[in-house]
Amino acid sequence: MKKVVAALLVLALNGYVYWYLGSAEVIPTRENFSLFPDAIDEWRCGTREIIDDKTLKNLRVTDYVSCNFYKPESRMATHLYIGYHERQTRDRESGTATAIHPPEHCLPGSGWDVIDARVVPIDVGPGGEAKRFVIAKGNQRALVYFWYHSRGRVIARNHHKILWMFLDRARFGRTDGSLVRFTVPISFGDEDAAEATFQEFAELVTPLLPEFVPN
């Protein structure tokens, strides 16, 4: 047991040294979300949402796209949010963190209750894991899928995101990453239809991500 603790302490020390004294920080080149398409196959973005300054200050996001996409002549619709952080560090002077906020921490504050939550494998894009939520507010129900799309990885668990961030900072000088979230209304209690909507739209969106979220 002592050997395990000692090994963990060594790893923690190495992580600390790499984090503060390691390679120079690298900010990769990428396209701005202003170039993200408003038309994806048959899907259309109505009006892009502008996040207010107070929320932006809280999110500490570098760039984002937020829009309700719908498929004309059908009932299929989903809200897409992608927030990109060019770095996830803590400013030594102000103490302000720029890390991605886990959505499950924000949902209760917005009046939503999580009635089902699980980590599931996904095969869209590069593949990986996502968090799948069913949320409720009064009579409203919605299906939420989200994951951390960070340096080529699709990650569901926050502690995995943090571990990879430290390792990539040490090896490549990068802490950039993003949150990708789909929110699909559940109409008439039909969760299967909401699932099919997510699958169809996500398969169209994920191939576009590398331009805006560097691998």
Q: Is the dihedral of CA 99, 115, 66, 215 positive or negative?
A: positive
Q: What domain range includes position 83?
A: 2-212
pLDDT digits (tens, 9 = 90+) for 170-205: 888 888 889 999 999 999 999 999 999 999 999 999
Taking only the tens place, the pLDDT of each residue in 40-62 is 999 999 889 999 998 888 888 99
Instruction: Record the pTM.
Output: 0.84
Strand, coil or helix: 85: strand
Regarding predicted confidence, which is higher, 215 or 124? 215
Check residue 5 and give its pLDDT: 47
**Residue 197: predicted pLDDT:** 96
Percent of the chain residues topping a pLDDT of 70: 84
Q: In angstroms, rounded to a whole number, what is the distance separating the alpha carbons of residues 45 and 168? A: 34
Number of domains in the chain: 1
The Cα–Cα gap between 70 and 72 comes to: 6
Burial of 62 by CB count in 10 Å (0-12 exposed, 13-18 middle, 19+ buried)? middle
Which pLDDT score is estimated for 6?
Answer: 46
**In this predicted structure, what is the pLDDT of residue 87?**
85
CA atoms within 13 A on the CB side of 83: 24
Per-residue pLDDT of 54-107, as tens digits, reads 888 888 899 999 999 999 988 899 999 999 999 887 655 555 557 787 887 777
Pairing label, strands 63-70, 113-122: unpaired
